[in-house]
Amino acid sequence: MKKLLTLMSSTVTFLLFAALLCMIIVVISSKASGGSPSAMGYEMKSVLSGSMEPTFQTGSIIAIEPTEENGTEYQEGDIITFQQDRDTLVTHRITEVNESGSQVIYKTKGDNNDAADMEPVLNSNVVGQYTGFTIPYAGYFIDFANSPTGALVLLIVPGIIIFLYGILSIWRELRKLETKTKTDSAEEPPS
């Protein structure tokens, strides 16, 4: 029974440290990249609407490969993420590609939308291309982690839990030591 409790204790400690480390990495990565975590050269973006369902669900995280060139390499059928306005990124499928001199203009449409987007997308506004990698519903978590409250909660709460767990472990060991000391002094014959 003691071995099982020790194993469980070690597992809980490892999981808490791993969770804290993951939260630190996500929060620091998000802040360093301007709000979007990145991994292995891909940016993770949260999906905030259902315009691309069923390709990916609202609240998912998608991986996009950032645009390296000038954004002219995309073709009809590709799913791109583009800057719609200063504060809004949109991920939709290209339905038509038109060239106008050195500019490429993309017409886009969400898979779940009835009509194409009203405004065409200039190649200079393309941020990246969807890679096919999706984690359903994890976008809600990333959005929370990017908020000031989320960053505070995700860094402080695991730290407090680890601190309290450490105090509990020290208290248990002191009680064991105290019990052993009492047992040893009770067994010693008087001199």
The C-alpha angle with vertex 12 and arms to 143 and 20, in degrees rounded to 5, equals 30
Catalytic site positions = 49
Are 63 and 129 in contact, with CB atoms under 8 Å apart? no
Task: Count other C-beta atoms under 10 Å from residue 19's C-beta.
Answer: 15
* Residue among 26, 65, 25 at smallest CA distance from 42: 65
What whole-number distance in Å separates Cα of residue 13 and Cα of residue 162? 8
Q: CB-based contacts of 174: which residues, under 8 Å, 6+ apart? A: none
3-class state of residue 65 by DSSP: strand
Query: Any idea which residue has 């009835």 for tokens?
Result: 114
Query: Any idea which residue has 């994890």 for tokens?
Result: 138
